[in-house]
């Protein structure tokens, strides 16, 4: 696969950028996220997380169990401010 292939579509992060950060010491999906912003966009890594995990495995010759996935954090899906905060937003 060519280095200019986009892996994270939300943030437009390429394979080359990901490989370069692995060379600099990144070892987990979250390490890549912090270093490149891959997985920080609207889909929160739902599309690219597995790909990134595989790239790390291939580059460092590790098995998938040895590569930490990203932390799951609420909300599971995008949620509007109004739905999240409505109850506490009433005038007191």
| Token pair for 18 | 């990901």
For 13, the enclosing helix (H) or strand (E) is strand 13-14
* Overall size of the chain counted in residues: 92
Element (H, E) at 10: none
Closest CB to other proteins among residues 11, 49: 11
Tell the smallest beta-carbon distance from residue 40 to other proteins (Å): 7
Which lies closer to other proteins via its Cβ, residue 50 or residue 84?
A: 84
Q: Which residues bind other proteins (CB under 8 A)?
A: 11, 24-28, 30-31, 34-35, 37, 40-42, 44, 73-75, 78-82, 84-90, 92
Cβ closest to other proteins, residue 31 vs residue 49: 31
Quick check: 15 and 21 in contact, CB under 8 A? no
């Amino acid at each position: 696969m060519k280095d200019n292939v986009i892996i994270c579509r939300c943030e437009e992060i390429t394979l080359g950028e990901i490989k370069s950060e692995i060379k600099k010491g990144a070892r987990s999906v979250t390490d890549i996220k912090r270093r490149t912003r891959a997985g920080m966009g609207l889909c929160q890594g739902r599309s690219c997380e597995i790909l990134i995990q595989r790239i790390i495995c291939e580059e460092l010759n590790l098995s998938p169990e040895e590569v930490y996935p990203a932390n799951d954090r609420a909300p599971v899906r995008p949620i509007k401010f109004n739905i999240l905060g409505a109850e506490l937003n009433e005038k007191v």
